[in-house]
């Protein structure tokens, strides 16, 4: 098998990049060891959030926010995106001060997407919220989507554009020969000019195979789904300083996440739920919405993805080997970035450049030599 580009990893970032490249006339193979969306992209809470982003991600995140509002044009489906808003509440004076300072810094830099709101406005947005919330940050154009619809839409749009998606295709070795990559896979050899490393929690292994050893940790964020609840919660709600993100689906079930970590298996291939850690997220949710106290939990899970020390992704050309582009380490907030990162990767591969400043995403900051030094 032969293509211009081999993308390793059929999560949303791999699929999004493949779609954008194929639409520019590049031949693309996506190699996915399980099935498209099997890992972080299928386990995600699917919050579409510019709120509280690290400023270095804002250019990508604000571009992606525009994409989410017209995703139908990109993939022929709105992916269940609803602009229900994202609200970050402050439960203490200290949290309120941190939020207010952040919004002041954003405003000074000319950003207007986050707005500081008071307790009355919070109660008008979420009438069931506990009375101790002092204020918060509000982005009305943020929201959430349906991750499985998104996976299907990006996958189908890619196939339509000519992307070859090889599922149950584990890449086990990479070798550079006469200016091309030769990949050894469980479905046979693949030759490509360029490789995109979008392997999520296994990106360090792909980087090592390619001769550019990079380092990342693995996040194992957990989620809870409850039975249908009477609560009336329209926006996605998080609480500053707490591992809590909370939303109510259209069916009435509650989806609780926010970064509580599960247990990583010793072989780094799977993660399981840590009930004790999860209980703290659930308690935080009930503290914020007391009316949800008796609601029963129906399902829990833990997803896996790569996490960097600064929680900022690694995106860009390898500085060590030619024809290798990295895109991993989204550290628990990569879902929202899917449309813009896909475009960026296509810009890099097809034109060799991007209008985004990639200095904060430089792979050299996670190079193993650098960490060891």
Ligand X SMILES: Cc1cc2nc3c(=O)[nH]c(=O)nc-3n(C[C@H](O)[C@H](O)[C@H](O)COP(=O)(O)OP(=O)(O)OC[C@H]3O[C@@H](n4cnc5c(N)ncnc54)[C@H](O)[C@@H]3O)c2cc1C
Q: Contact, 100 vs 90, CB < 8 A?
A: no
Enter the tokens of residue 272.
């399981």
Nearest distance, CB of residue 48 and ligand X, angstroms: 7
Nearest distance, CB of residue 286 and ligand X, angstroms: 20
Task: For ligand X, give the closer residue by CB, 33 or 243.
Answer: 33
Nearest distance, CB of residue 29 and ligand X, angstroms: 11
The interaxial angle of helices 58-68 and 338-351, nearest 10 deg, is: 110
Task: For ligand X, give the closer residue by CB, 138 or 330.
Answer: 330
Residue 91 Cα to chain centre, angstroms = 26
Task: For ligand X, give the closer residue by CB, 235 or 303.
Answer: 303
Nearest distance, CB of residue 373 and ligand X, angstroms: 27
Tell me if residue 61 falls in helix, strand or coil: helix
Nearest distance, CB of residue 287 and ligand X, angstroms: 20
The C-alpha atoms of residue 29 and residue 164 are separated, in whole angstroms, by 5
Enter the tokens of residue 189.
């050899």
Task: For ligand X, give the closer residue by CB, 253 or 291.
Answer: 253
Handedness of CA 210, 344, 365, 266 (dihedral sign): negative
Binding residues vs ligand X (CB under 6 A): 8-14, 31-34, 38-41, 43-47, 49, 170-171, 198-200, 202, 206, 221, 223, 257, 303, 305, 328, 330, 332-336
Nearest distance, CB of residue 273 and ligand X, angstroms: 11
The C-alpha atoms of residue 267 and residue 177 are separated, in whole angstroms, by 31
Task: For ligand X, give the closer residue by CB, 119 or 263.
Answer: 263
Task: For ligand X, give the closer residue by CB, 95 or 144.
Answer: 144
Closest by CA position to 47, among listed 226, 201, 218, 235 = 235
């Amino acid at each position: 098998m032969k293509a211009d580009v081999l993308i390793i990893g059929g999560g949303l970032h791999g699929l999004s990049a493949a779609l954008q490249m194929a639409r520019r006339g590049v031949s693309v193979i996506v190699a996915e060891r399980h099935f498209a969306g099997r890992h972080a992209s299928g386990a995600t809470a699917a919050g579409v959030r510019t709120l509280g982003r690290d400023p270095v991600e804002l250019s990508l995140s604000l571009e992606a926010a525009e994409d989410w509002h017209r995703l139908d044009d990109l993939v022929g489906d709105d992916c269940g995106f609803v602009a229900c808003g994202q609200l970050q509440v402050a439960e203490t004076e200290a949290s309120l001060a941190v939020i207010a300072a952040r919004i002041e810094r954003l405003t000074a830099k000319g950003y207007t997407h986050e707005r500081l709101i008071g307790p009355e406005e919070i109660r008008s947005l979420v009438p069931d919220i506990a009375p101790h919330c002092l204020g918060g940050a509000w982005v009305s154009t943020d929201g959430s989507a349906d991750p499985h619809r998104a996976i299907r839409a990006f996958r189908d749009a890619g196939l339509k554009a000519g992307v070859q998606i090889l599922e149950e295709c584990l890449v086990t070795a990479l070798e550079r020969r006469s200016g091309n990559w030769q990949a050894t896979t469980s479905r046979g050899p693949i030759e490509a000019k360029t490789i995109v490393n979008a392997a999520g929690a296994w990106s360090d292994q792909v980087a090592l195979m390619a001769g550019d050893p990079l380092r990342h940790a693995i996040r194992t964020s957990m989620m809870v789904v409850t039975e249908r609840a009477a609560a009336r919660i329209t926006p996605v709600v998080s609480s500053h300083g707490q591992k809590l993100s909370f939303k109510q689906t259209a069916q009435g079930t509650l989806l609780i996440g926010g970064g509580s970590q599960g247990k990583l298996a010793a072989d780094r291939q799977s993660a399981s739920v840590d009930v004790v850690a999860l209980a703290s997220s659930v308690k935080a949710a009930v503290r914020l919405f007391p009316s949800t106290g008796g609601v029963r939990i129906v399902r829990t899970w833990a997803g896996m993805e790569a996490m960097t020390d600064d929680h900022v992704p690694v995106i860009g050309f390898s500085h060590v080997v030619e024809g290798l582009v990295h895109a991993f380490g989204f550290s628990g907030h990569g879902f929202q970035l899917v449309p813009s990162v896909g475009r960026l990767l296509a810009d890099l591969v097809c034109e060799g450049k991007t209008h985004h400043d990639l200095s904060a995403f430089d792979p050299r900051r996670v190079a193993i030599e650098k960490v060891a030094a």
